Amino acid sequence: MTAGPPSSIESTVFAFAKAWGNTGVIPSDARVTHQPVARTGASVALEDVSLTIGVQGSVVEILRGASLRAAAGEFVCLLGPSGSGKSTILNLIAGLAKPTSGSVRHDETDVSGPGPDRALVFQDAALFPWLTLRHNVEFPLKLQGLAAEARSSRSMELLRLVHLWRFRDRYPHELSGGMRQRGAIARALATDPAVLLMDEPFAALDAQTREILQGELERIWSATRKTVIFVTHNTREAVRLADRVVLMGTRPGRVLHEEIVDLPRPRAANDERVSGIANGIARRIASEVEKVAREEADDAWVAPGARGSDDPRRNLGRGI
Amino acid sequence: MTILVAIWAAASELARTPLFPGPLAVLRSIGAGVHDGTLPRALAISAARLAVGYGVALAMGIPLGIALARSRFVKEATGPIVLGLSSVPSICWLPLAILWFGLSEWAIQVVVVLGAALPIAVATENSVRHVPPSIERAARTMGARGARLMLTVTLPAALPGILGGAKVGWTFALRSLMAGELLFVSGGLGQLLETGRDLGDTALVLAVVVVIVALGRASEAVLFSPVDRAIARRWGVEEI
């Protein structure tokens, strides 16, 4: 679609939204005129966190006694099947949810609510469709009351970082899935957060794009030294990206196992050592996934692969 | 279009009855109405009523829709009533409105506002409710909340759906207005239709219908098309 000059009515409609975006809580004379010094990562800690919610009268246990630490600047991947509370952990750190018990701390202080020092990136990118890429990246800066020139220079810098500068005036629907995801990363970095929370950001992308973006993310992380908590259910992705993989179990969600990935960076997509570690973790997960599948299927269901598995000890007494 | 007008002309020639005037007669009637000022006056009166009634309907319907989507209390207290009332043809309110307000401007406006505000509220509620949760979560992590979150994120995100409701509301307002004006001496286009019937002047009746069609098309072109285009450009056509 060609982008013609905006007519007066369309600009009026959206000027309304823009004008409201401008009325910051910060008075105009107190506006920040330059970007503070780039923040590197801060530590994140969950201690013995449990969360239960009421769903239509019954109580559902989402997380039980989960403990997790990410050091400043560390890249941690949360890996586990659906229902293991991975996204919930991100919500807790982001301050969008509160634990029933236990503590969630960020940079040694308790998390009390959302804040621009922790940014979330979603599977569907969640770029605002009514704003151009550039204005999407500038949106959180506008909320902070940053002046227009500072916003503009910051968004240009970030769009260059994710190689989208040329597409700055495009609307999200005019971009591919991978470009949208890079845009979402740029927007998340706009407020210079100490912690980047990523909720299966590459899950909806095709395999090639996903590998390219994994490389991009590793590069961006190396350049910015943010603390990254990255949720995925792709074992290879977790091993390729993480300093440490945290394996989550389900029903209720809890931490099962942690695996340090001590491989040199940057890591190649087809690195055999990545595959080796990934296979080890995959075997560990298999039993956990099987448990979920059993609960969601009839009693007679047997996990494919359980029959005639290459590990005779694990399946002894079944499928013989 | 030209072919349809030609068929109309031919049919009225064949019918040879004053009850079925041809396009020329209708055009002459429009000309006469414009010349003696009755048509422009009626149009101005109706358009002004529409502007006021529709404006009030937007100002009531959109906040009501937001409240329905966001407040459980409002939803449970008024949701079923709003849904129920929105299925009542608005002209059904006219007898009550006349009893309450007499044969006045107020009675007509009550019908117009009720006819338009409820579909607008229902559409607003739906579109606010269906804003992708990740959009709002993203905005909240950036520090937006409360009225600011609603005005800078939720409402723009819901705009395509709200616009759809606004369009439906507009046609409902126009219909309600014409029905209301038919029923008593009101000075608008509806009354002019009634005058045409009283005089047996079918050409006048059809002339007014043509003017109403033109009014509908013009409002579409002036009010909605530019916004539609803006939304299509931003959201991409496939989601409209």
pLDDT tens-digit readout, A146-169: 888 889 888 998 898 888 889 999
Report the pLDDT value the prediction gives residue A292, as an integer from 0 to 100. Answer: 67
Residue A161 vs residues A30, B186, B238: alpha-carbon distances, Å: 29, 66, 31
Do A43 and A160 share a domain, yes or no? no
Q: How confident is the model at residue A193 (pLDDT cuts 50, 70, 90)?
A: confident
Q: Is residue B191 part of a domain?
A: yes
Partner-chain residue, chosen from A7, A128, A174, that has the shortest CB–CB distance to B226: A7
On whether the CB atoms of residues A274 and A239 are closer than 8 A, the answer is yes
| Predicted structure pTM score | 0.75
Residues from chain A that touch B134, judged by Cβ atoms under 8 A, are 122-124, 126
Q: Is residue B35 part of a domain?
A: no
State which residues form the domain around B135: 45-235
Partner-chain residue, chosen from B132, B143, B152, that has the shortest CB–CB distance to A126: B132
Quote the minimal CA–CA distance from B4 to chain A in Å: 34
Inform me whether the C-beta atom of residue B226 falls under 8 Å from chain A C-beta atoms: yes
Q: Whole-angstrom Cα distance, residue A78 to residue B80?
A: 44
Report the pLDDT value the prediction gives residue A14, as an integer from 0 to 100. Answer: 54
Which percentage of chain A shows pLDDT scores above 70? Answer: 79
Domain boundary among A153, A172, A192: A192
Report the pLDDT value the prediction gives residue A24, as an integer from 0 to 100. Answer: 38
Helices and strands, counts by H and E, chain A: 8, 10
Q: Is residue A17 part of a domain?
A: no
Q: Whole-angstrom Cα distance, residue A254 to residue A80?
A: 10
Q: Which residue has the higher pLDDT, A120 or B238?
A: A120
Inform me whether the C-beta atom of residue B144 falls under 8 Å from chain A C-beta atoms: yes
- For the purposes of burial, counting CB atoms within 10 Å of the CB of B216, is it exposed (0-12), middle (13-18) or buried (19 or more)? middle
Do A178 and A228 share a domain, yes or no? no
Instruction: Tell me how many degrees the CA angle A118-A120-A125 measures, rounded to the nearest 5.
Output: 155
Q: Is residue A160 part of a domain?
A: yes
Do A52 and A111 share a domain, yes or no? yes
φ/ψ of A127, rounded to 5, equals -70, 150
Residues from chain A that touch B159, judged by Cβ atoms under 8 A, are 13, 130
Task: List all residues of chain B from 84 to 113 with a beta carbon under 8 Å from chain A.
Answer: none
B interface mutation test: which of A16, A18, A20 has the most B CBs within 10 A?
A20
Residue A35 has pLDDT above 50, yes or no: no
Quote the minimal CA–CA distance from A169 to chain B in Å: 11
Q: Which residue has the higher pLDDT, A286 or B225?
A: B225
For position B216, which CATH number holds?
1.10.3720.10
Do A156 and A207 share a domain, yes or no? no
Domain boundary among A192, A217, A233: A192
Report the pLDDT value the prediction gives residue B63, as an integer from 0 to 100. Answer: 93
Q: Is residue A204 part of a domain?
A: yes
Q: What would the mean pLDDT of A244-268 be, rounded to a whole number?
A: 82
Amino acid code (one letter) for A43: S
Partner-chain residue, chosen from A17, A115, A126, that has the shortest CB–CB distance to B135: A126
Give the pairing of strands A118-121 and A195-199: parallel
Q: Is residue B21 part of a domain?
A: no
Do A108 and A240 share a domain, yes or no? yes
Q: Is residue B34 part of a domain?
A: no
Residue A44 has pLDDT above 90, yes or no: no
Q: Is residue B7 part of a domain?
A: no
Partner-chain residue, chosen from B138, B140, B152, that has the shortest CB–CB distance to A21: B152
- For the purposes of burial, counting CB atoms within 10 Å of the CB of A71, is it exposed (0-12), middle (13-18) or buried (19 or more)? middle
For position A217, which CATH number holds?
3.40.50.300
CB pair distance less than 8 Å for B230 and A20: no
Do A294 and A242 share a domain, yes or no? yes
State which residues form the domain around A188: 128-192
End-to-end C-alpha distance for chain B, whole angstroms: 28
Do A154 and A250 share a domain, yes or no? no
Residues from chain B that touch A9, judged by Cβ atoms under 8 A, are 226-227, 230
Partner-chain residue, chosen from B155, B226, B237, that has the shortest CB–CB distance to A9: B226
Q: Number of structural domains, chain B?
A: 1
Partner-chain residue, chosen from A10, A94, A128, that has the shortest CB–CB distance to B229: A10
Partner-chain residue, chosen from B138, B143, B238, that has the shortest CB–CB distance to A120: B138
Residues from chain A that touch B235, judged by Cβ atoms under 8 A, are 129-130, 171, 173
On whether the CB atoms of residues A263 and A290 are closer than 8 A, the answer is no
Q: What would the mean pLDDT of A263-274 be, rounded to a whole number?
A: 82
Report the pLDDT value the prediction gives residue A135, as an integer from 0 to 100. Answer: 92
Q: How confident is the model at residue A197 (pLDDT cuts 50, 70, 90)?
A: very high
Residues from chain B that touch A17, judged by Cβ atoms under 8 A, are 151-152, 155-156
Q: Which residue has the higher pLDDT, A76 or A45?
A: A76
Do A108 and A227 share a domain, yes or no? yes
- Ranges of chain B with pLDDT below 70: 185, 237-240
Do A61 and A202 share a domain, yes or no? yes
Do A172 and A37 share a domain, yes or no? no
Q: Is residue A143 part of a domain?
A: yes
Residue A1 has pLDDT above 50, yes or no: no
Report the pLDDT value the prediction gives residue A303, as an integer from 0 to 100. Answer: 56
Q: Is residue B9 part of a domain?
A: no
Which percentage of chain A shows pLDDT scores above 90? Answer: 10
Cα–Cα nearest to A180, from A224, A125, A130, A109: A125
- Tell me the three state secondary structure of residue A54: strand
Inform me whether the C-beta atom of residue B153 falls under 8 Å from chain A C-beta atoms: yes
Report the pLDDT value the prediction gives residue A304, as an integer from 0 to 100. Answer: 57
Structure tokens at B88: 């009542």
Inform me whether the C-beta atom of residue B150 falls under 8 Å from chain A C-beta atoms: no
Q: Is residue B30 part of a domain?
A: no
Q: Is residue B23 part of a domain?
A: no
Report the pLDDT value the prediction gives residue A198, as an integer from 0 to 100. Answer: 92
Q: What would the mean pLDDT of A124-131 be, rounded to a whole number?
A: 90
Report the pLDDT value the prediction gives residue B54, as an integer from 0 to 100. Answer: 93
Residues from chain B that touch A1, judged by Cβ atoms under 8 A, are 232-233, 236-237
Report the pLDDT value the prediction gives residue A298, as an integer from 0 to 100. Answer: 64
Structure tokens at A181: 């995801």
Domain boundary among A192, A219, A248: A192
Q: Whole-angstrom Cα distance, residue A280 to residue A109?
A: 36
Q: What would the mean pLDDT of A140-145 be, rounded to a whole number?
A: 87
Do A184 and A266 share a domain, yes or no? no
Q: Is residue A15 part of a domain?
A: no
Q: How confident is the model at residue A32 (pLDDT cuts 50, 70, 90)?
A: very low
Q: Number of structural domains, chain A?
A: 2
Q: Is residue A66 part of a domain?
A: yes
Do A297 and A203 share a domain, yes or no? yes
Residue A211 vs residues A36, A233, A239: alpha-carbon distances, Å: 33, 15, 13
Q: How confident is the model at residue A23 (pLDDT cuts 50, 70, 90)?
A: very low
Report the pLDDT value the prediction gives residue B143, as an integer from 0 to 100. Answer: 82
Residues from chain B that touch A191, judged by Cβ atoms under 8 A, are 142
Q: Which residue has the higher pLDDT, A311 or A243?
A: A243
Q: Which residue has the higher pLDDT, A109 or B119?
A: B119
Which residues, in sequence order, are CB contacts of A47 under 8 Å at separation 6+?
A67, A102, A103, A105
Residue A315 has pLDDT above 80, yes or no: no
Report the pLDDT value the prediction gives residue B73, as an integer from 0 to 100. Answer: 84
Q: Is residue A267 part of a domain?
A: yes
Q: Which residue has the higher pLDDT, B103 or A171?
A: A171
